[in-house]
Amino acid sequence: MKPVLYGTSDVGISFVEDVIGGNLQDHAELLWSKSPIAHAHRIDTPLLILHGENDYRTPFSQAEELYTALKRYEKTTRLIRYPESNHSLLKSGKPSLRIDSIEQVNAWFGHYLHGQKPS
């Protein structure tokens, strides 16, 4: 069990210690309890994960770990990688990728909320 944010995010140490209130060495159980991966077995809502490959705020490996955990528990999920994209994909990403991400979200909600076939 590892709280990945602590060691991989550009705000890991300051955020984890100041906001969550612990460090990896002394508070591993607390940090693990705050990790989405620790609770993947309880996620029942279909989850679409959109992630930029060049996201240094939340590295892509974190998306892969959550996706893998969800698949392990046979949850409904999909992971879409956006090349050359960072944490601000929706605000400042390449226009074609921003459009695609919006279309992916619309299709996902259309399918799971309204029973529409995915395009």
The string of pLDDT tens digits covering residues 59-69 is 888 899 999 99
**Structural element, H or E, at residue 88:** none
**Predicted local distance difference test score (pLDDT) of residue 92:** 86
25 lies in the same domain as 71: no
Neighbours of 23 (CB within 10 A): 15
What's the pLDDT tens digit per position in 85-115? 988 888 888 999 999 999 999 999 999 998 8
Do 68 and 105 lie in one domain? The reply is yes
117 and 66 in a common domain: yes
Q: What secondary structure letter does DSSP report for 84?
A: T
Residue 106 located in a structural domain: yes
Do residues 61 and 24 share a domain? Answer: no
Considering the domain architecture, whether residues 106 and 64 belong to the same structural domain is answered as: yes
Residues 10 and 48 in one domain: no
- What is the rounded CA–CA span in Å between residue 106 and residue 112? 10
Q: pLDDT band at residue 1, thresholds of 50, 70 and 90?
A: very low
Residues 90 and 55 in one domain: yes
> Domain span at residue 10?
1-34
Q: Give 113's contacts (C-beta < 8 A, 6+ positions apart).
A: none
Query: Is 39 part of any domain?
Result: no
* Residues 16 and 53 placed together within one structural domain of the fold: no
Selected residue with higher pLDDT from 89 and 82:
82
pLDDT digits (tens, 9 = 90+) for 18-54: 777 777 778 788 888 888 899 999 999 999 999 999 9
